[in-house]
Amino acid sequence: MGMLDRFADIIKANINELLDKAEDPAKMVDQYLRDLSESLVEVKQETAGVMAEETRTQRLVEENEAEIAKYDDLARRALKAGNEDDARTFLAKKQQLAAKGESLKQAAAAAHDNAGKMREMHDKLVSDIETLKGRREAIKAKVAVAKTQDKVNAVSSAGDSAAAAMSAFDRMEAKADEMLDRANAMSELNAEPVDSAAELEKKYAEAGSTAAVDDELARLKQEMGL
């Protein structure tokens, strides 16, 4: 598995694990960004190592080419000096270095490709983290609104309960009024009927008593010369 695939799998595993146990999206996003930042540290280290390998292999290629150029120059100088055997020795060394140079160039090309892939992955991860940071604020804002809405819903539910209680009290008060009216009616029905004759008799009896008192008062005043 390539390094890029390995880091992709790590990131997927992190987000899937967080989604499985997610309770608060805002906290989950923060945790995911922390995990991505930790992965970025590892990616940076790996990228730096691959880029260093690219630099090293390229330097070996350049050093080898410089050696080839050196032995080519020595062969030319030997020929000018009439030393053909020395020239052969220098040319043989040049050929060895040229064969070595092909392997070094292949290694340098592979290191260059690896460095490009790692740098691309690094840059993409940095970009993704910055993008997710922006989205994190939007997610947190949505979570805050959702929590506020829950509170509003709870208050609305309490208001509905209060309205229901008021309605229940209205029904109980109406029931109490009905009971009181019924009790008054029963009291009225249970009262003894009024005897009209007895009432009139009492009236005249009281009137006679008042007249007797008035007569007695007049007699006393007469006796006392008042």
SS3 helix, strand, coil % of the chain, rounded to 5?
90, 0, 10
| Pair of tokens at residue 31 | 């945790």
Say whether pLDDT at 66 is over 70: yes
Instruction: Give 32: exposed, middle or buried? Use CB within 10 Å, 0-12, 13-18, 19+.
Output: buried
What distance lies between CA 2 and its chain's CA centroid?
Answer: 34
pLDDT at 1: 43
Q: Which of 42 and 25 is assigned the larger pLDDT?
A: 42
Q: Which of 213 and 119 is assigned the larger pLDDT?
A: 119
| Pair of tokens at residue 195 | 């005897």
Share of the chain above pLDDT 70, in %: 66
- Write the pLDDT tens digit of every residue in 138-171: 776 666 666 677 666 665 655 566 666 677 667 7
pLDDT at 147: 64
Distance between CA atoms of residues 178 and 93, nearest Å: 124
Q: Report the range of poorest mean pLDDT among 68-72, 85-89, 194-198.
A: 194-198
- Mean pLDDT for 202-206 is 64
Residue 40, number of CB atoms within 10 A of its CB: 17
Q: Which of 71 and 211 is assigned the larger pLDDT?
A: 71
Distance between CA atoms of residues 104 and 54, nearest Å: 11
Are 128 and 71 in contact by the 8 Å Cβ rule? The answer is no
User: 């003894």: which residue's tokens?
Assistant: 192
pLDDT at 216: 76
pLDDT at 192: 61
- Write the pLDDT tens digit of every residue in 173-183: 777 778 777 77
pLDDT at 13: 56
| Pair of tokens at residue 121 | 């992955």
Q: What single letter denotes the amino acid at residue 84?
A: E
- Write the pLDDT tens digit of every residue in 34-48: 877 887 888 888 888
Q: Which of 59 and 193 is assigned the larger pLDDT?
A: 59
Q: Residue 213 to residues 133, 206, 217, 218: CA-CA distances in angstroms? A: 111, 11, 6, 9
Contacts of 126 (CB under 8 A, 6+ apart): 40
- Mean pLDDT for 65-87 is 93
Are 64 and 96 in contact by the 8 Å Cβ rule? The answer is no
- Mean pLDDT for 193-221 is 67
